Amino acid sequence: MAGPTVLALGPFQFEALGFSYQGRNRSSDMGWAEIEVAGGQDALQWTGGKKRTETIRGVLFEEFGGQGALEGLKLAAETGQVLPLVDIGGAPFNVFGMHIIEGIQEDLAFVDRNGVPLKNGYQIKIRAYRGSLGSSLITSVLSLFS
């Protein structure tokens, strides 16, 4: 491990060095529908929360590692895994529920003469998941503490 773990998405741990992250954005769509009313102001009806998304941003440097974890997250996204998001930087832990990976964007830079990027800026877009889970939930959560 390259430093204290501050955030985990399933078994993938974001650390102070190595597979680090710089920040997170959160967005929630609360699900209000507008209903037109003749002769008055339109009414609003709450239809339930539609979605909650987050974007995790970071930069990887070849000398500190972390690219393997990002490759693992790509594989998890491609295979449709549902992963818990846990902030373990402070006590008590904040468990943000189960999430799916909607997309991963990379910005490879400072390519050396062998074609290896020395810097990789990334963004991981995740979305809260509501659905049935099998034993994958238990396995994913237990793997955080092993």
CATH code for the domain in which residue 114 is found: 2.40.30
Domain boundaries, position 103: 5-29+44-144
Question: Which H/E stretch holds residue 23?
Answer: strand 23-29
pLDDT of residue 139: 54
pTM: 0.75
pLDDT of residue 49: 76
Domains held by the chain: number: 1
In a domain, 94, yes or no: yes
Amino acid at the residue 67? Q
Name the residue with higher pLDDT: 89 or 59.
59
Name the residue with higher pLDDT: 57 or 63.
57
142: left (phi over 0), alpha (psi -120 to 50) or beta: alpha
Cβ atoms 86, 140 nearer than 8 A: no
Residue 2: band (very low, low, confident or very high) from pLDDT cuts 50, 70, 90: low
Q: How many C-beta atoms lie closer than 10 Å to residue 92's C-beta?
A: 7
Question: What percentage of the chain has pLDDT greater than the value 70?
Answer: 85
**67-83 residue pLDDT tens:** 889 999 999 999 999 99
Q: How far is CA 82 from CA 8, 27, 89, 121, 135, in A?
A: 13, 19, 22, 24, 11
Rg over CA atoms, the chain: 19
How far is 124 from 144, CA to CA, in rounded Å?
19
**82-141 residue pLDDT tens:** 999 998 776 666 888 899 999 999 998 998 898 888 899 999 999 999 877 654 555 555
How far is 59 from 21, CA to CA, in rounded Å?
7
In a domain, 34, yes or no: no
pLDDT of residue 135: 47
In a domain, 39, yes or no: no
